[in-house]
Structure 1
Amino acid sequence: MRRTGEVALAARESAACGGVRTTATMDAMIPTLALNDGNRIPAIGLGSWPMDEEAPEAVRTALEMGYRLIDTAAKYENEEAVGRGIAESGVPREQIVVTTKLRGSEQGYEEALRAFETSRKKLGLDYVDLYLIHWPLPRLDKYVDSWRALVKLREDGVVRSIGVSNFTASHLDRIIAETDVAPAVNQIELHPYFTQADMRAADAERTVLTQSWSPLARSASLLTEPALEQIADHHGVETAQVVLRWHVQLGVLPIPKSASPDRQSLNLDVFGFELSESEMAQISGLERGRQSHDPDSHEEF
């Protein structure tokens, strides 16, 4: 086992991460990132797909360890389990950022309003910190009406921030043009095999924070890449930590999924070392292309 850095050294990263600051109320001193609506969000979070019965324990353990961002979705069918983990953690609610997502079968204005209430009840929460449209589903042509519903939910105070997932630049431009409201977040597939340079730039141009789902890729081969192993050995960390640190230095927000306390700890511990420009370039050079679905054609309900 390679040695790891100290999470408490996160304070050193405020300058290196651009727009990042640390929040003393977080046990692990996780940096936070600014959103375009004035809110802030932890610079790393816990994904929960495809957790099922292990979700309550995994979420509770993660929160006790210092995670403060928990990501779920109606489509994952685990909102109740995630909510139990949050309740059992003992961490004050105001310290936790909870994300859930609108599923495709419930897109539309009225449908989205009803779907949110269902998700909120399943989570057992008075409000949700971040609510996203899960996929644009352009053939249905309902994502603008769904976005209007999310805007209303934010205006009503039951959602703190609103965003999207798997949106392209054209999808973003349409909802912004028709509602004059830019998403706070766009959560997309992003990892060293699919670096999404153009989409990251498009998000940044629109003041939208990019989140990374599947940040460690869905291919086990990523973590055995010789280039990553060499970089990990140089810093005395694990290859997964190198990849997550790459995300952090790109200015994007990774949400790795793990139910293992040991792995959760390693994934969180990425703020005590820094990759060089050449190391960042090496990692980005692993580009292979998309591993999942094309947002312009994928339909997920």
Structure 2
Amino acid sequence: MSPITSWIFPGQGSQSVGMGAAALAASPAARAVLAEAEAALGEPLGQLMATGPAEALERTEVAQPAILTISIALLAAARERAAAAGTPLDEPILIAGHSAGQYAAAVAAGALTVADGVRLARRRGELMQASGGGRPGAMAAILGLPESAEADVIAAGAKLGILVFANRNSPGQIVLSGEVAAIEAAVAAASAAGAKRAVRLQVSIASHSPLMEEAAAGMREALAAVTIADPKTPMLANATAARITTAAQLRDELSNHLTGGVDWIAAVNAMAAASTKRYIEVGSGRVLAGLVKRIPSADGAEILSIEEVSPAA
């Protein structure tokens, strides 16, 4: 009997030139996903993923649809391998996307088509880049900060402007988001409080913060024009890890998560509480796999990339 499985989908930052090249070369099903995405976007996404340049692929409005496309293409390739071997791919009991990964998760759950998913992902990137209301945003990664010091660090930054948790990725790894002065003050406070590393990220937007309200409003409009189905497999909300089982809940999630944080620890805890014994990262690389390994509730679980899943697994 196969282990109880959950699927996890990475977000922006997991992209790289050449991602998924082997699957696209070998799998007609993967190429069909790419063709559908390119037709929806009206641009040669596959060429950009294959050869770059990296600077173009890293643009928010390009990276987000590219990550969705390669995640679903890799999933299609895995299904194709399993079907050829006469052994269906193990279906998940829960699906969770990290930030922009929620769009690929929604496609995998049958709630969005590939075409609608990539168009929404591109629009999300465009809106995020333009959002901020005239207030420059920033983000910072804080590693190894004692949990007891987090409140003081937030308080130090919040004196100078908006500052919130953007991500709780794993124990000892958090990301803060907000206005530039607040982020700089928080970085200094975290370093003084004993963080192993506190560094401002090379981004000019404040993802998952109130500065994204314009983007969230824009996504509500974009989502209103798209048909969304109830997820066939429950998804987990970014901020709360609550189960998403209806189209209405998913519409709210895909707009509201722009201004709320991503509590990845809570998501993994929820999957573990549902008896998950195998986590499969459906995307390029192992960004989320590395985070899951550091979360105590997943101790002893099998953690795989979709590209490592064989028909016999």
Structure number, greater radius of gyration: 2
Is the structural similarity TM-score above 0.5? no
**Structure ranking higher in helix proportion:** 2
